Amino acid sequence: MTKPHIVILGAGLGGTIAAFEIKDAVGDKADVSVVNRGDRFHFVPSNPWVAVKWRTRDAIEVDLKPVFKRKGVAFYPMGAKSIAPHENKVTLTSGLDLAYDYLVIATGPELAFDEIEGFGPEHFTQSVCHVDHALAASDVFEAFAKDSKPIVVGAVQGASCFGPAYEFALILDTELRKRKLRDKVPMTFVTSEPYVGHLGLDGVGDTKGLLESELRQRHIKWITNAKVEKVEAGLMHVDEVNEDGSTKAHYELPFGFSMMLPAFRGVEAVRGHEGLTNPRGFILVDKHQRNPTYPNIFALGVCVAIAPTGKTPVPVGVPKTGFMIESMVTAIAHNFKLILAGKAPTHEATWNAICLADFGDGGVAFFAQPQIPPRNINWSASGKWVHLAKVGFEKYFIGKVKSGKSEPFYEKLALDLIGAHKIK
């Protein structure tokens, strides 16, 4: 009999680990394939370091071809052009149709720079969402350092990933102080969040107090409830919004360097299928990470549709953090074991969050259980140890990818000790 074929779309933080863990779970009972645009894994959390040349591209990337070959996972690095859920197939950019019995969507997002005039790396602002963007930003920053002007950093309306914006603002502050240039560079943090430290999660522990304190101590001004109207060369037009959505104030912010995180949407290959995605193209899933309309399709990571934590004057999305994504991976892998045994899936991801936000000379860490409030654990802390922990985690995670392992026993033991379980 032909083995069931599991196809995983995407080989980022979630998709790569999913390939390892699902293959380990199903063994020789199913064939596993990965489709990705490109043959390299990039450790996205290190992109802010790349943007100030604290890391090189080579230091944060892994060639996936030999890793997947060792794991017995087929790899298609040409990427997907489209999917046909009714026909159970993925059409690759090469024109090849890849049939599947089960599909795991882990594509990550499409970056919606085009929703704001003059926005994004092709225009007037930089990005750390992709290593290519971070490398381009590093060259722009080097040129900026020779002729220092104001800096604007933050996240626009509809954004859901706020941690890297805070990280990068404070990393820039650290780097400018190292270069003895900080006194020449006014900085403004612009965010769609209703308050500093909201993070799309209505805060975690005292992230409001901790992050406000960091910005205040480093002389970084901030504008919350901010909506970026348009960006011109060296000038950002920003409206500050009242609780009722009316305009409270308008700002024209001059800048010599700006990094603003965009809103996300689902990638083109999966958008537009009724019952599969919401209007933004994010994948609809049930508590088992399975799509209700197409029960042989699962999804994990940033591409999953999650409702906002509450109403805000400016649209704010919910972040999908690393540990939360890994919990989705584990739930799906465990459910595949049941499905291949002829049983119904029962495992649910905990969606807990463990985050390290590095500032170059310190940082903020938080643990939310679960990530979406109300929570059983709601903890945050700051200190120089966070920077060291982030460096250690970078080395550890890249090592996991190189070795083809999703969760060594000592990682599970450590997480169990602190109560950070991946499945309920």
The residues carrying an active-site annotation are 161, 355
When computed from its CA atoms, the radius of gyration of the chain, rounded to whole angstroms, is: 21
Q: Which two tokens stand for residue 34?
A: 């990965």
Structure-token pair, residue 344: 């119904």
d(CA 142, CA 135): 11
